[in-house]
């Protein structure tokens, strides 16, 4: 990770879970990390926690469903640190919204965050890299094992559709970068079940189910996924880690 010290990363959805864990690792490796989410207080607490580490944190409140807020975030990063060298599209969400009974509002929310925001951030990050002649930048999309295989879990079927999109969009990004003869890399990191707040947001009225899924067997922690991101990022510039799947040994 030495070559990334002093460089700028954006981590979306860093107020919790995998995004917060990854931010801690990147800042300890000396990166300047712009972090975004809706809960600014949590981002500021993360910045305060990491004071004294080699890197730095720039908290930015941003609702990724709103393009104007995303564009303002990129402008703030440009003004503060010059631009983005690494973009980790980590923010993601799910609602229990099966295909035959879910609400259109829930589906739209999932698509806006998991798919559209990821595309807007990727476009703006690559634009920022190109403006500054950065040819070794990196786009990292936090996907899911559900982005590769459709199991029979109705609460997750729409989520699977959004994550299959992430698989296609990551390859599409690689294709377009290759077309430009760019060496900017794009990676997909696909976790299985991770003990974060995400599951409780899918099942807000079923805490016992969430507890059972998280604690009935050994599950991955956010740090385990952050380590997979660090692996992709720290590969030498001529190596493109295309896909990393990490799942718990006891996942179903
Ligand atoms: N946990 C798992 O089992 C699992 C498995 C496979 C893949 N993943 C993927 O891993 C990624 C991270 O998930 P996690 O488990 O760490 O989830 P998490 O703990 O629920 O964190 C989600 C993050 O996304 C942010 N976010 C959600 N909606 C947002 C919006 N509209 N605007 C800005 N930020 C928003 C949240 O911040 P605010 O609420 O403060 O806005 C939070 O920081 C997601 O892409 C998820 O699909 C997770």
Per-residue pLDDT of the chain (252 residues; tens, 9 = 90+): 999 999 999 999 999 999 999 999 999 999 999 999 999 999 999 999 999 999 999 999 999 999 999 999 999 999 999 999 999 999 999 999 999 999 999 999 999 999 999 999 999 999 999 999 999 999 999 999 999 999 999 999 999 999 999 999 999 999 999 999 999 999 999 999 999 999 999 999 999 999 999 999 999 999 999 999 999 999 999 999 999 999 999 998
- Closest C-alpha to ligand 1, atom 14: 17
CA nearest to 120, candidates 80, 63, 79: 63
33: left (phi over 0), alpha (psi -120 to 50) or beta: beta
Residue 80: inside a domain, yes or no?
yes
- The number of distinct structural domains making up the chain is 1
Read off φ and ψ for residue 189, nearest 5 degrees: -115, 120
Residue 46: inside a domain, yes or no?
yes
pLDDT on residue 122: 99
Q: How far is the CA of 53 from the centre of ligand 1 (A)?
A: 25
Q: Is 19 in the pocket of ligand 1 (CB under 6 A)?
A: yes
The minimum-distance atom of ligand 1 relative to the CA of 198 is 20
Residue 49: inside a domain, yes or no?
yes
Q: Distance between CA 247 and CA 190 in Å, rounded?
A: 8
Q: Distance between CA 16 and CA 108 in Å, rounded?
A: 22
Q: Distance between CA 207 and CA 188 in Å, rounded?
A: 30
Enclosing domain of residue 140: 2-246
Q: Is 173 in the pocket of ligand 1 (CB under 6 A)?
A: no
Q: How far is the CA of 93 from the centre of ligand 1 (A)?
A: 5
Q: How far is the CA of 59 from the centre of ligand 1 (A)?
A: 16
The minimum-distance atom of ligand 1 relative to the CA of 65 is 31
The minimum-distance atom of ligand 1 relative to the CA of 91 is 24
- Closest C-alpha to ligand 1, atom 19: 17
Instruction: Specify the CATH number for the domain of residue 81.
Output: 3.40.50.720
Residue 172, C-beta contacts closer than 8 angstroms, at least 6 positions apart: none
Residue 251: inside a domain, yes or no?
no
- Closest C-alpha to ligand 1, atom 46: 92
Q: How far is the CA of 112 from the centre of ligand 1 (A)?
A: 13
Residue 154: inside a domain, yes or no?
yes
Q: How many Å is the Cα radius of gyration of the chain? A: 17
pLDDT on residue 237: 94
Read off φ and ψ for residue 141, nearest 5 degrees: -105, 125
CA nearest to 210, candidates 196, 223, 222: 196
Tell the burial category of 172 from Cβ atoms under 10 Å away from its Cβ (0-12, 13-18, 19+). middle
Q: Is 196 in the pocket of ligand 1 (CB under 6 A)?
A: yes
Q: Is 59 in the pocket of ligand 1 (CB under 6 A)?
A: no
CA nearest to 123, candidates 137, 107, 110, 144: 137
Residue 252: inside a domain, yes or no?
no
pLDDT on residue 252: 83
Q: Is 65 in the pocket of ligand 1 (CB under 6 A)?
A: yes
**Number of Cβ within a 10 Å radius of residue 104:** 8
Residue 27: inside a domain, yes or no?
yes
* Residue 7 contacts residue 34 (beta carbons within 8 Å): no
């Amino acid at each position: 990770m030495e070559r990334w010290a002093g460089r700028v990363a954006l981590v979306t959805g860093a107020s919790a879970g995998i995004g917060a864990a990854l931010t801690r690792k990147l800042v300890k490796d000396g990166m300047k990390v712009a972090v975004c989410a809706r809960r600014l207080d949590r981002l500021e607490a993360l910045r305060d926690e990491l004071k004294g580490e080699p890197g730095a944190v720039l908290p930015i409140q941003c609702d990724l469903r709103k393009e104007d807020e995303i564009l303002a975030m990129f402008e703030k990063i440009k003004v503060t640190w010059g631009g983005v060298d690494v973009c980790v599209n980590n923010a993601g969400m799910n609602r229990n919204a099966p295909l035959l009974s879910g609400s259109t509002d829930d589906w739209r929310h999932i698509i806006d965050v998991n798919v559209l925001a990821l595309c807007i951030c990727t476009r703006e990050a690559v634009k920022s890299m190109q403006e500054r002649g950065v040819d070794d930048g990196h786009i990292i999309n936090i996907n899911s094992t559900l982005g590769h295989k459709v199991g029979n879990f109705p609460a997750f079927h729409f989520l699977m559709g959004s994550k299959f999109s992430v698989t296609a969009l990551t390859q599409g990004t690689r294709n377009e970068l290759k077309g430009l003869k760019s060496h900017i890399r794009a990676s997909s990191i696909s976790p299985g079940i991770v003990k974060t707040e995400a599951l409780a947001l899918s099942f807000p009225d079923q805490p016992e189910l969430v507890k059972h899924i998280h604690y009935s067997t050994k599950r991955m922690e956010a740090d385990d996924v952050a380590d997979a991101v660090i692996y992709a990022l720290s590969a030498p510039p001529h190596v493109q880690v295309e896909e990393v799947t990490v799942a718990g040994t006891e996942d179903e």
